Amino acid sequence: MGSRVALAWALAVAFLAAPPLVAQRGRGQAPAVSPRAAAPVDLTGYWVSVVTEDWRWRMVTPAKGDYDSVPLNAAARRAADAWDPKQDEAAGEACRSYGAPAIMRVPGRIHITWDNDTTLHIDTEAGTQTRVLRFGPSPSAAPAGQGQAGEPTWQGQSVAQWELGGRGGGMFGMAQAKPSGALKVVTTRLRPGYLRKNGVPYSANAMLTEYFNALPPEENGDTWLVVTTVVSDPQFLNGRFITSSHFKKLPDGNAWHPTPCRSS
């Protein structure tokens, strides 16, 4: 009787141990892969923004007080109503509307390159800005100045990570789908600036979350990059400010023509 019980226990233990063994097959200790090598999509190259949305706020300088579509609170509206581009220019703040939360909406070409295996650069024609996207652990959502070093800048500190899709799951272990996904970038440590050229403000407490999506080529050969941008700012916004901007891939940088910041 005792041996039967022991046999039952042994079999139960063996079968319980089997699924983890199956699940681990082929995994082993994979060598570390750099973010550049692990990139599920290729974002590099020259891209031009195609302005089919928000034209009157992007292609010309909007009128003071024209802050439609942005979920501003009363303090932000007061700040926007006090916008003075000449004063910004005189104070050396002409780049206020070229900061990271706004720059992808500013019409122009962008150039995306790998600086090294863990760092992407985005150079912009408009305002001659450079964004530095470093792969690493996500920053906490702590307010600016807590646990982070360095002075706030127009482009802030950006931490990048690949959002990989199709990993599956479940008790039977869904099969691994083809790698896919987007680049997620979280930016903090921002110098206060404008969401729009006419002084619609964001504060130093703003946090920017972006998703860079490279779309499959279209039948006519066009390739599009879509950047979904989410700005959170407890000081000036009543809720998240969500926009998406689209860029068409260019064959080369022949038309590249950087221009300086302008306050109006």
Among 35, 45, 62, 127, binds another protein (CB under 8 A): 62
For position 139 contacting another protein by CB under 8 A, the verdict is: no
**Contact track, another protein, 147-166, x by CB under 8 A:** ----------------x-xx
For position 26 contacting another protein by CB under 8 A, the verdict is: yes
**Per-residue buried b or exposed e for 114-144, using 16+ beta carbons within 10 Å of the residue's own CB:** eeeeebbebbbbbbebebebebeeebeeeeb
For position 38 contacting another protein by CB under 8 A, the verdict is: no
Among 36, 44, 71, 258, binds another protein (CB under 8 A): 71
For position 86 contacting another protein by CB under 8 A, the verdict is: no
- Is the distance from CB of 206 to CB of 191 less than 8 angstroms? no
For position 81 contacting another protein by CB under 8 A, the verdict is: no
Size of the site for another protein (CB under 8 A): 79
Would you list the DSSP string of 182-233?
EEEEEEE-BPPEESSTT--EE-TT-EEEEEEEEPPPPTTS--EEEEEEEEE-
Among 73, 118, 161, 228, binds another protein (CB under 8 A): 228
Among 29, 146, 176, 254, binds another protein (CB under 8 A): 176
Q: Is 181 left (phi over 0), alpha (psi -120 to 50) or beta?
A: left
For position 51 contacting another protein by CB under 8 A, the verdict is: yes
For position 131 contacting another protein by CB under 8 A, the verdict is: no
130-135 and 157-164 as β-strands: parallel, antiparallel, unpaired? parallel
Among 60, 74, 149, 171, binds another protein (CB under 8 A): 60
The burial class, CB within 10 Å (0-12 / 13-18 / 19+), for 214 is buried
Q: What's the CA gap between 16 and 76, in Å, rounded?
A: 60
For position 14 contacting another protein by CB under 8 A, the verdict is: yes
Among 76, 80, 126, 208, binds another protein (CB under 8 A): 126
